[in-house]
Amino acid sequence: MTNESRVVLYTDVTNDLERRVWEHQHSELKGFTKKYRVNRLVYYETYSQIDGAITRGKEIKGWWRSKKNALVEMLNPHWADLSIEMFGRLGGPSPFCGGSG
């Protein structure tokens, strides 16, 4: 994920991408991502096992910015916010946050 200026690149692991993106877009997560307004999904990978996802996340976190940028640009050259296409909405209520279900 990144912010509007693309200055920040943030890598994390989640078992629910839609929920995690919604949390970032609505500043639900305190700390670094809220401070730097990290709210745009520009790249993601899926894994069937959490161990593979954690290993890959750590690998990417250790890369230089130029290598991370190249990874994003390989599949998303315009740095489009993929969440809009994936989830069909931006700013709408999430069925995963703030409810009792």
**Among the listed residues 7, 68, 67, 16, the one whose alpha carbon sits nearest the alpha carbon of residue 46:** 16
- CA 59 to CA 54: how far, in whole Å? 9
Q: Containing H/E element for 29?
A: none
- CA 17 to CA 13: how far, in whole Å? 9
Q: Say if residues 43 and 72 touch (Cβ distance below 8 Å).
A: yes
Least confident among 26-35, 53-62, 88-97: 88-97
Scanning 36-78, the segments in alpha helix (DSSP H) are: 50-61, 65-75
Q: Is the pLDDT of residue 94 over 90?
A: no
Q: Averaged over 12-41, what is the pLDDT?
A: 91
Q: Averaged over 27-55, what is the pLDDT?
A: 93
| Predicted pLDDT at 93 | 47
**Among the listed residues 29, 46, 34, 26, the one whose alpha carbon sits nearest the alpha carbon of residue 8:** 34
- CA 2 to CA 11: how far, in whole Å? 9
The whole-chain average pLDDT of the chain stands at: 87
Q: Is the pLDDT of residue 13 over 90?
A: yes
Q: Averaged over 48-69, what is the pLDDT?
A: 96
| Percentage of the chain modeled with pLDDT above 90 | 69
Q: Averaged over 35-57, what is the pLDDT?
A: 95
